[in-house]
Homo-oligomer: A and B are copies of this chain.
Amino acid sequence: MTRPLEALGFEVHAAGRTQGVDLLAPGGADALLAQVQPTHLLHLAWYTEHGLFWTSQENLRWVDASLRLLQAFAANGGRRAVVAGTCAEYDWVPGGTFSEWRTPLRPATLYGAAKLGLHEVARGLAAQEGLELAWGRIFFSFGPGEPEGRLVPSIARALLEGREAPMTHGRQLRDTLTVEDLGRAFAALTAGDYTGAVNIGSGERTELRHLAELVAAEVGRPDLLRVGALPARPREPRELIADVTRLREHVGWTPSDTLEEGVARTVASLR
């Protein structure tokens, strides 16, 4: 994530648990913010344990940690904050293409509700403290470094080890970015002046079966992919796609990777 920011001319101070900054601890990033006095804040941290993050009460702790971070950022002269939201803030029931100004916000999970509620409070704080606030709603992404339980690495890992890779029917249509494009999108959002919610996606419909087949072809074991071997999740929407009008017109960003490039890098990282 630091490279696309540096490419746009930012002096980057990355902070995370590996840098000894624990946003959940009292004081969190206060010392770092007081020392660096950053003009821009890009806040992507959250509880993301695969399979657990939808319902974990850790989501509630991250609401508070995020508010404390934004407070400390404002108190140290910050000007512009960019925070990761989620497509799970939208009402998923009808499915389809989600628009920031037309689609109702009605999260079905604690994760989505925590992000949506945080955005409401953060907007009030930003307006009062004179901060710019942009809120990037992430759709689906894949790439090197993602948790191995997720679709692309779990299939790639199985096939690389010569095991069968079971999946659902794979007819779900998802808006998919490579993690590299996701990083570039957030860098562009940080460098720009757009405020408010904006979808971070490609706007393209990718069938998950197609994505899995690209992985199998890249590994060279299409014979081991078992489409339809797993039941689909109940009430899973067929189609979750970002309306990217705002992202294109107000942030001025479009993806540059193809799915094939992203799959090739992901598989290479697992070899």
Contact = CB atoms under 8 A, between A and B. Distances in A.
Given A119-B117, A120-B117, A125 B60 contact: yes
A113 B109 contact: no
A146 interface: no
Contact of A110 (B55, B68, B125): B125
Binding site of A, secondary structure by majority: helix, strand, loop or mixed? helix
Interface of A: 55, 57, 60, 63-64, 67-68, 71, 107, 109-110, 112-114, 116-125, 127-128
B125 A120 contact: no
B71 A67 contact: no
Query: Which residue, A120, A122, A123, has most C-beta atoms of chain B within 10 A?
Result: A120
Nearest to A125: B110
B57 A121 contact: no
A119 B116 CA distance: 10
11 contacts: A60-B121, A63-B64, A64-B64, A107-B120, A107-B124, A109-B128, A113-B120, A113-B124, A114-B121, A116-B117, A117-B122
Contacts of A124: 107, 109-110, 112-114, 117
Contacts of A118: 117, 121
A113 B107 contact: no
Contacts of A112: 124
B55 A60 contact: no
Contact of A71 (B57, B121, B125): B57
Query: Which residue, A109, A112, A123, has most C-beta atoms of chain B within 10 A?
Result: A123
Contacts of A60: 64, 67-68, 71, 121, 125
Contacts of A121: 60, 63, 110, 113-114, 116-118
Nearest to A118: B117
In order of increasing CB-CB distance, the 5 nearest A-B pairs are A113-B124, A117-B121, A117-B120, A64-B64, A117-B117
A60 B66 CA distance: 10
Contacts of A119: 117
A107 B122 CA distance: 12
A229 B121 CA distance: 36
Nearest to A119: B117
Contacts of A110: 121, 124-125, 127-128
A120 B116 contact: yes
